[in-house]
């Protein structure tokens, strides 16, 4: 691995922070930021805002103009080398006379994946990778997972009492957590390609699942709302329908007459494979991957959360813990089949804990080391 200077780290950190500006808007494309530097000074910067618009490198080159000649390009993802919705960044960098390209990571897109750096190298540009790679991978974990496995990165958000319950026996669950925790959920929604729930939650809580101000950046597009509804019970009166934005209902019962359900036009009913009584969750997520969703936020009840966890489809859980006891009659956070021995428990790794107002937030990765 090449030795990188403090300056290399500094400019890559800047490229990453520019990339971060596309957190809520770049999908299905990756979040990419670019810094062009010459003699220790930044001569151009750019970041990718929307799919179909200019890539980070192109904007940085435009800002730098003639000053790009001989400059080093710092970018958190390998420059692309094919003409997609926009022209290849490699060609623009070569044309502008960049001397060196430092990419934090390769682009996992099979159409790029090493070919971008190779093209630059063949044009006589010095290419290096690896600076702040861990941060770069974290920023685009959804894009990377989708490119490598065809599946979106799945985060389950669950609000619980300190005794691990999500709703009272009566079904009441509004509200377990306080304002700051609920505002944090808005942030999670804003950076997701889609928010997914089950029909049980739609019928019980009638959620809207949109991102409310002030978490909407300029020109923000609402995440797609996805409802898993094996028997197509989705009611035409659902509050979700009153808010603009794309709604997908995945069902095993697409034969059912849509007009009989009262579902508004515009809601997309998608036939999905069943597995016994329920939708086959792996097919569901494969489908969402094919629709180019990078990150899915699951806001569901114990049935769907349990099923997703058991199907090994949840990557991370974000648990908001309220300092209250809801009692043993209340519903658990995830319905899982009986676990016979401690060795078979689902193992998590805690990545972060934080106090949000009166509540606690725990972010944990699901390990799936043991077979259930």
By the criterion CB under 6 A, which residues form the site for ligand AOF?
29-30, 32, 48, 51, 55-57, 77, 79-80, 84-86, 89, 107, 109, 112
Residue 78 Cβ vs ligand AOF, minimum distance, rounded to whole Å: 7
Residue 299 binding result from Zn ion, ligand AOF, none, given CB thresholds of 5 to 8 Å by partner type = none
Distance CA 138, CA 191 (A): 13
Residue 20, phi then psi, degrees to nearest 5: -60, -25
Considering the rule CB under 5 A, would residue 75 count as an interface residue with Zn ion? no
- CB neighbour class for 283 (10 Å; exposed up to 12, middle 13-18, buried from 19): middle
Q: Are 15 and 42 in contact (CB under 8 A)?
A: no
Residue 192 binding result from ligand AOF, Zn ion, none, given CB thresholds of 5 to 8 Å by partner type = none
Considering the rule CB under 5 A, would residue 73 count as an interface residue with Zn ion? no
Q: Which of 152, 187, 189 is nearest to 294 (CA)?
A: 152
Distance CA 133, CA 76 (A): 8
Residue 115 Cβ vs ligand AOF, minimum distance, rounded to whole Å: 11
Considering the rule CB under 5 A, would residue 238 count as an interface residue with Zn ion? no
Considering the rule CB under 5 A, would residue 31 count as an interface residue with Zn ion? no
Q: Are 38 and 61 in contact (CB under 8 A)?
A: no
* Cβ proximity to ligand AOF, 77 vs 314, nearer residue: 77
Contacts of 247 (CB under 8 A, 6+ apart): 224, 225, 226, 227, 240, 241, 266, 267, 268
* Cβ proximity to ligand AOF, 48 vs 67, nearer residue: 48
Considering the rule CB under 5 A, would residue 80 count as an interface residue with Zn ion? yes
Q: Are 46 and 60 in contact (CB under 8 A)?
A: yes
Considering the rule CB under 5 A, would residue 89 count as an interface residue with Zn ion? yes
Count, residues near Zn ion per rule CB under 5 A: 3
Residue 34 Cβ vs ligand AOF, minimum distance, rounded to whole Å: 7
Catalytic residue, candidates 57, 78, 295, 316: 57
Q: Is 316 a catalytic residue?
A: no
Catalytic residue positions?
A: 57
Judged by the rule CB under 5 A, the positions of this chain that interact with Zn ion are 55, 80, 89
């Amino acid at each position: 691995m090449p030795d990188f200077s403090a300056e290399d780290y500094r400019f890559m950190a800047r490229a990453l922070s520019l990339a971060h500006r596309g957190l809520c808007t770049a999908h299905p494309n990756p979040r990419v930021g670019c810094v062009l530097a010459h003699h220790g000074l930044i001569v151009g910067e750019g970041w990718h805002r929307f799919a179909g618009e200019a890539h980070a490198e192109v904007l940085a080159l435009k800002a730098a103009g003639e000053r790009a000649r001989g400059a080093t390009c710092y970018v958190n993802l390998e420059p692309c080398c094919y003409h997609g919705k926009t022209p290849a960044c490699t060609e623009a960098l070569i044309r502008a006379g960049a001397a060196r390209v430092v990419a934090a990571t390769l682009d996992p897109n099979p159409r790029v994946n090493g070919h971008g750096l190779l093209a630059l190298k063949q044009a006589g540009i010095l290419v290096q990778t690896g600076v702040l790679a861990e941060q770069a991978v974290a920023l685009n974990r959804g894009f990377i997972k989708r490119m490598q496995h065809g599946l979106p990165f799945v985060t389950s958000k669950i609000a619980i009492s300190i005794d691990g319950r999500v709703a009272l026996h009566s079904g009441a669950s509004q509200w377990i957590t306080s304002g700051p925790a609920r505002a944090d959920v808005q942030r999670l929604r804003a950076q997701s390609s889609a928010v997914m729930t089950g029909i049980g939650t739609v019928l019980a809580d009638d959620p809207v699942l949109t991102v409310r101000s002030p978490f909407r950046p300029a020109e923000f597009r609402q995440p797609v709302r996805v409802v898993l509804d094996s028997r197509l019970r989705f009611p035409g009166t659902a509050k979700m329908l009153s808010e603009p934005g794309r709604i997908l209902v995945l069902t095993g019962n697409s034969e059912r007459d849509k007009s009989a359900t009262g579902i508004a036009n515009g809601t997309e009913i998608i036939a999905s494979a069943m597995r016994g009584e329920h939708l086959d969750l792996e097919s569901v997520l494969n489908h969402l991957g094919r629709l180019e969703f990078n990150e899915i936020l699951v806001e569901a009840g114990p049935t769907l959360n349990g099923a997703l966890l058991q199907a090994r489809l949840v990557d991370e859980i974000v648990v908001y813990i309220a300092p209250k006891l809801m009692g043993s009659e209340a519903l658990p956070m995830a319905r899982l089949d009986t676990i016979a021995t401690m060795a078979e428990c689902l193992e998590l790794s805690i990545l972060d804990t934080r106090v949000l107002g009166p509540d606690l937030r725990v972010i944990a990765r699901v390990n799936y080391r043991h077979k259930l």
